[in-house]
Structures are given as structure tokens and as C-alpha cells.
Amino acid sequence: MADSANDSINVDFGFSEIPRAQKKDRVRDVFDSVAERYDLMNDLMSFGMHRLWKRFALLNTGLKPGGAALDVAAGSGDLTRGLARQVGRLGCVWSTDINARMLAVGRDRVLDAGFAGNVRFAIADAEKLPFATSSFDCVTIGFGLRNVTDKAAGLASMFRVLKPGGRVLVLEFSKLTVEALEPAYDFYSFEVLPRLGRAVVDDADSYRYLAESIRRQPSQDEVLELMREQGFERCRCHNLVGGIVALHVGFKL
């Protein structure tokens, strides 16, 4: 009964409000639409800077050869490939996503890059990760937290599967720290991105949702507080490009 009641509660889907039970399917539809050209759109939208942001995140994993890592909402697998390099052939990386088409794209890219024996793939809901408690040295989620229906549940699930001493890295679009950038950022987000989506993937609505979901993402301080509430300690935030993107780091001690 409690789950049924919760499913009827409205949650955000961009600037819209929809029943909680519908959000995961709606998010799947968005990424089904853009999966095949996801990397191209990321390069166009960020002028290639998303690769630098991911490299910065990878500098903070603390992983060593032979380690175990989990990439949640792995998408096309950029972070997965970086994690696989860090843990080496004796380590293990699980690449997960709730969207089967995105996971397939990521799997192909990982295999094309020459990683096979140390990377595994699974369709998985971030809120209910199907792994044993204390399994991983590092858990990453890159540009996926804002699409998680219950962010607290997602962070709690990541905390559970971390080993003591392990860390979580949450790389996500965030809140600008330079107010003077807001008019230009709004114009780019709500005028340029949907047109780019229409031109490249014939889908303006999905990119309008992605822009709106960025605006609905909790602030840096709110994400840090959510992390602390789920048990993470020594939490910190690195703002990148004036807060357009932020890397949140938390430890399970």
C-alpha cells in the first residue's frame, strides 16, 4: 500500500509535474530517442568540455590496480572506460544503466576500446543496485543523478554497495556561481539546445527536457546535504566552469 501511495505522488519531469510511477519510463523514452547520437550531442552541447569534466572526475577516484568500481547511469561509457584503465586487468568494473539502448551503446564503445575481461554490464535501477553490500572501492555517476526519481534512495543505494574507505563521485550539472552568466546560459539552454536536438537527432523535446532537468537539479549544497544524510562523510564539492558542472565527492568511513 505504501508503494502504491508513493507512486501517485507527483515528481518533477523537467518543468512539468508527473506521477512518480511514470518518471522512469519517461526518462527511458528520452534516452531511447537520443542513444545513437548521444556522444555527438554531448560534444556539440559542451563544445567537447564534457570529456575534460570526466577526466577531472577520474583524477579523484582513488582507485588502484586490482580495485573494484561501479559506474551508475553509465550511458555511453566514458567513465567506465576510464575506471577500467585504472583498475587494470586484475580489477573489475560494473557498468550499469536503467536504459537498455544506452547500455548497449556503452558496451559497444567499451569493447571497441579494447576492454573486455575486466568490464561487466547490467541493466540496473540506481535506487536498487543489485550488488552485495560493501562491494566497490569507488562508485561514479556522471550526469545521471538529476534523472533519478528518488535521489536520496539512489545515494543510499550507492553508499550501501561501497566498501568502508570507498568513495562516491557525483558529476552533475549544477547551479551557476557567477550570476552574470545566467542570461547567456538560459538562452543557450532553452533556445539553442532544443534547436540543436531537432537538427541532429530530430528531437527537440528530449533536449528541452534535459535543459529543464538541469534547472531542477538541487544546488551543490543541497546535494552535499543529501549525501551526508545517507551516511557519506568528508563530503566536498568542486565547481567547474563557474558552477555549470560540479563534482561531489563523499566517503564511506
Domain ranges of the chain: 22-177+210-251
Burial pattern 156-168, b for ≥16 Cβ within 10 A else e, equals bbbbbbbbeebbb
Give the other-Cβ count within 10 Å of 61's Cβ: 22
Q: Can you give the pLDDT at residue 211?
A: 85
Q: Can you give the pLDDT at residue 3?
A: 53
What whole-number distance in Å separates Cα of residue 50 and Cα of residue 146? 16
Q: Which residue stretches of the chain have pLDDT < 50?
A: 1-2, 4
Half-sphere exposure of 168 (CA within 13 A, CB side): 31
Q: Can you give the pLDDT at residue 34?
A: 76
pTM of the shown model? 0.91
Q: Can you give the pLDDT at residue 177?
A: 92
Provide the total of helices (H) and of strands (E) in the chain, helices listed first.
11, 9
Q: Can you give the pLDDT at residue 1?
A: 44
**How many residues are listed for the chain in this entry?**
253
CB-based contact 120:93 (threshold 8 Å): yes
CATH domain 22-177+210-251 topology:
Rossmann fold (3.40.50)
What whole-number distance in Å separates Cα of residue 112 and Cα of residue 85? 14
Q: Can you give the pLDDT at residue 93?
A: 98
What whole-number distance in Å separates Cα of residue 240 and Cα of residue 171? 10
